[in-house]
A and B are shown apart, each in its own frame.
Chain A
């Protein structure tokens, strides 16, 4: 029986994964394991090893899909190399050293494949990095390439911003301008005020914090958690802009499909 083990850095990835699985029933045909949030990029190796070690059994294949952010200064190949090293550690007992390779058509997806034999286990690892195209369309400059960036890109969609505007009950006379006003607050005014006071403001999480502030998230949703904001954005996208959600997260869906190919 083939099982797919999804891993991600944190709770946002877990939530995104769950929403995608709910939204796209095709993914239900994949025998997905519970999503494992490793709790920080430095813990991938340890958590993947602890989780998978038991299931490496000759004549069976396990499949891993990893959603990894790319921090400032990191490059795809180096991070991919670290996952290749991890695979080699997992397969040390059998002296197997499969190579990780970038997907020929998707530069943000890497694949490592080791076929199972009667004497050795099989391992298929798909490593997904955020797609640069998502960030190119953002009107803000961020140091990192993260899942939060995807959320932000989705959150700047006019329909989704309009839903936030409705919830915060702006004056009816200015309602038509609401999405633009919110967008400007989030990507320009709040960052500028913060930055002009000597406080660094350059990460996706900073922008999500501005988003929470501009949309009166605490007042409306009784939460200050970015993860909950992300979930609301994802679910709004699923409900009102499904085609956009699919377009944005196409590389995630590709990665999940690739792992079971």
Chain B
């Protein structure tokens, strides 16, 4: 389970930290406060499951164990294609600084970094023990934009070169060690753009403490996931390998939309090898879930993907569910039922969840859900109210009891400045209002 995240120069965050992370984590706060950035950092770290070696010149040891992005995430999408798409960037980068060498290594040249810095030119290559395996192909020139450093082959005594340590990591005494991985990303739109003075400023660097889920157990669910059909790479595999996938989806989906009671949910291919769900009533033609409406489509995709992940995870191989805007397209009643289903599912499975939301309903519904839960499970709830001040990210950490107190006091935990609930005004009659003539 991820326990802590320390951030240096990722997107709009110059510096920041998220600590005391638990099983169910809500990310709340104003726009541009870092909520989505955190999901993205965790997603990129989670999908970095391709073992490789980082080779730097003039550094001892010159070879470091590393991981980099896999070609596809759990849903069968290329991570960087997805990330670029989310930010309106071209899916393919024409100016990628990487190239494939004759021995199938990726060579990266960072022109903006001075020549004597270890990251001016470096290679990602097959690890020594797997030299016979081809790790990279030409497509990876576009795909690979980061590496994740690990402790030097299990030995904590090899110090990383000082020029690779972000100043804020030094200040916070963050060390590469077992249970703490550092991710270095060089694609420009994801690197904090301002005030680049040092060589390392051309990289976004973040440290993830705790155990990261494997890429096939990392699910990032966002607007695009809700709106697009499943890839065959994901859905066909799930369909073939999970015998009761459709039954499980049906069971949970009907809890969210009770009017579908009696129907069966199937997952079927569409054209262009994409897959989606359909509702089948006995004796009637199936109807694609997408034809029901946006809320149903969202809920179906969330449940289908989560159930598929849930079937693969166990205590040794936990899952990571990154969910952006659960309120997307959802009526409050359906949202409540969807959140209940997701929480019931997560409680039973070794899955950690991060939810970013703008919705007070999501905050209130989850708090309400936890209210009737046992104390041990209550302790697994955190809400982080994020804020950026001069591009430094601050995180206020709410436990269950803090959230409950705020909501009971009609205070809005999403705000830094104004805290009164937006709907706390009253339609009170004359009994509650002292009229001017009474004074």
Contacts and interface: CB of A to CB of B under 8 A. Distances in A.
Given A51-B402, A222-B431, A34 B413 contact: no
Nearest to B395: A57
B34 to A, nearest CB: 14
Contacts of B406: 51, 54
A47 B399 CA distance: 14
Interface in B416-438: 416-417, 419-420, 430-431, 434, 438
B434 A54 contact: no
A47 B405 CA distance: 7
A1 to B, nearest CB: 6
B416 A1 contact: yes
Contact of A54 (B392, B410, B413): B413
Nearest to A228: B434
A108 interface: no
Contacts of A228: 434
A30 to B, nearest CB: 12
Interface string B227-257: 0000000000000000000000000000000
Contacts, number: 66
A11 B417 CA distance: 23
A145 interface: no
Task: Using C-beta atoms within 8 Å of the partner chain, give the interface range for chain B.
Answer: 20 to 34
A57 to B, nearest CB: 5
A36 interface: yes
A239 interface: yes
Interface stretch (A20-28, A172-180, A181-189, A229-237): A229-237
Interface string A193-230: 00000000000000000000000000001110000100
Interface string A138-167: 000000000000000000000000010001
Contacts of B431: 222-223
Residue from A50, A59, A228 with most neighbouring chain B CB atoms (10 Å): A50
Contact of A221 (B401, B413, B438): B438
A55 interface: yes
B74 to A, nearest CB: 32
Interface in A1-38: 1, 3, 31, 33-34, 36-37
Given A57-B394, A57-B395, A34 B419 contact: yes
Contacts of B402: 50-51, 53-54
Contacts of A222: 430-431
B174 to A, nearest CB: 14
Given A1-B389, A235-B439, A236-B439, A57 B396 contact: yes
Task: Using C-beta atoms within 8 Å of the partner chain, give the interface range for chain A.
Answer: 20 to 34
Given A53-B399, A54-B385, A60-B394, A34 B438 contact: no
Interface string B47-78: 00000000000000000000000000000000
Contact of A3 (B395, B399, B409, B416): B416
B405 A33 contact: no
B439 A55 contact: no
B13 to A, nearest CB: 15
A118 B401 CA distance: 27
Contacts of A37: 409
B193 interface: no
A3 B419 CA distance: 10
Contacts of A31: 417
Nearest to B392: A59
Interface string A50-90: 11011101011000000000000000000000000000000
B37 interface: no
Given A60-B394, A167-B438, 6 more contacts: A50-B405, A51-B406, A53-B402, A57-B394, A57-B395, A236-B439
Q: A-B pairs with the 3 shortest C-beta distances?
A: A50-B405, A54-B398, A54-B396
Interface of A: 1, 3, 31, 33-34, 36-37, 47, 50-51, 53-55, 57, 59-60, 118, 163, 167, 221-223, 228, 231-232, 235-236, 239
Interface of B: 171, 383, 385, 387, 389, 392, 394-399, 401-402, 404-406, 409-411, 413, 416-417, 419-420, 430-431, 434, 438-439
